[in-house]
Structure 1
Amino acid sequence: MAKPRYERYSWKQFDEDCGKIARWAKNKKFRNIYGIPRGGLILAVKLSHLLEIPVVLSERDIGVKTLVVDDIVDEGNTLSRFLGSLNCKVMTVSLYLGPNPVVKPDLFLRKKEGWILFPWETRTSSRYDGTI
């Protein structure tokens, strides 16, 4: 049995990708940003600083001018369920996109080719997926 392929995503890559997202988002005039727990929280905080907009912590504060972010849309089930729970259409961004998601974000920066190990995770913590 082959060992799973790991891709280490660095803080440098994260900073560069956040800059790309901020440039894409700048003229869209978002009022706030929401990070889907857990993986989207760090991305949301970083982008809130770059875009100078607040992070919202409650789904009831999400509106049409909210940017919704997550670290990865793999199969797309989390994003699909989340978007289905909202009362409005929002724009979405992820750092990574899996091969065949049921829903795609409006913007993604990288295609997933193995197990992604983000710099804020350990191998053990990156396997936990019971947040939603």
Structure 2
Amino acid sequence: MRFIAPRWRDIHEMLRALSEKILNRGLRPDIAVGIAMGGLIPAVVLADLLGLEVDAVGAKLYRGVGERGNRPRITQDVSMGIEGRAALLVDDVADSGRTLEAVKEYVLARRPRELVTCTIHYKPWSIVKPDIYIEETDAWIIYPWERREALGDIIERFKAEGVADDEMRREMTSRGIPRWLIENMLQ
């Protein structure tokens, strides 16, 4: 299993680059709408960098690492009015694209003046290509805000494949996973 684990400073740099792409396209959004859970932190950082209001919409698709649900569910409504406003719809990654597609339809039904989708990462097989993204990858991504959950799933897969603990440690530390977290998860 191939995976990457960007660090907080990497994420902040990617979000700074994303904010520059947004401004360089002449976009002047009013609000960043993060898709919970993965898009919340990126939405807050973008809102700070661009001077925007921030809101969230909840959606759930994944069950575990590499395991997808069949259909995205909206689990939390936006709390602020977005009708007539220019909105950024923010997620961490467009993987299958189904969550981004479902939430985009949900937000468009609330009649924003403009809606731009943006993600940090984009997977080449996604059914939706974000309007703006930073990096295309085919690797599984372990973001800093989901490491414990994702590592649990990865360790289970490694064990099912018969990978020794020492090999798991080497693989995960080489990807930037903190050693203390690996040890905690292997206990």
Contact 2:101 2:128 in 1 (8 A): yes
Q: Are 1:113 and 2:110 matched, yes or no?
A: no
- Map of 1:13 onto structure 2: 10
- Map of 1:65 onto structure 2: 86
Contact 1:34 1:62 in 2 (8 A): no
CA distance in 1, matches of 2:99, 2:148: 21
Runs of 4+ in 1 over 4 A off after TM superposition: none
- Map of 1:47 onto structure 2: 46
The amino acid across from 2:45 in the alignment is K
Q: Which has the higher helix share?
A: 2
Shift of residue 100 of structure 1? 1.4
Larger Rg: 2
The amino acid across from 2:149 in the alignment is T
CA 1:72/1:5 → structure 2, altered by over 3 Å: closer, same or farther? same
Question: What's the TM-score, normalizing by structure 2?
Answer: 0.61
Q: Deviations over 1:80-116 (max 9, x none)?
A: 1111223245101001111211111101111122110
CA distance in 2, matches of 1:70, 1:59: 17
Aligned-residue identity in percent = 30
Shift of residue 70 of structure 1? 0.2
Q: C-alpha root-mean-square deviation of aligned residues, in Å?
A: 1.9
CA distance in 2, matches of 1:61, 1:125: 33
SS in 1 for 2:118: strand
Q: For structure 2, list consecutive stretches of 5 or more residues without a partner in the other structure.
A: 57-77, 154-187
CA distance in 2, matches of 1:66, 1:110: 21
Name the count of aligned residue pairs.
124
SS in 2 for 1:91: strand
CA distance in 2, matches of 1:71, 1:59: 21
Bigger RCO of structures 1 and 2 (CA < 8 A, at least 6 apart): 1
Q: Which has the higher strand share?
A: 2
The amino acid across from 1:45 in the alignment is V
CA distance in 2, matches of 1:33, 1:104: 18
Q: Are 1:76 and 2:97 matched, yes or no?
A: yes
CA distance in 1, matches of 2:133, 2:43: 14
- Map of 2:30 onto structure 1: 31
Shift of residue 62 of structure 1? 2.8
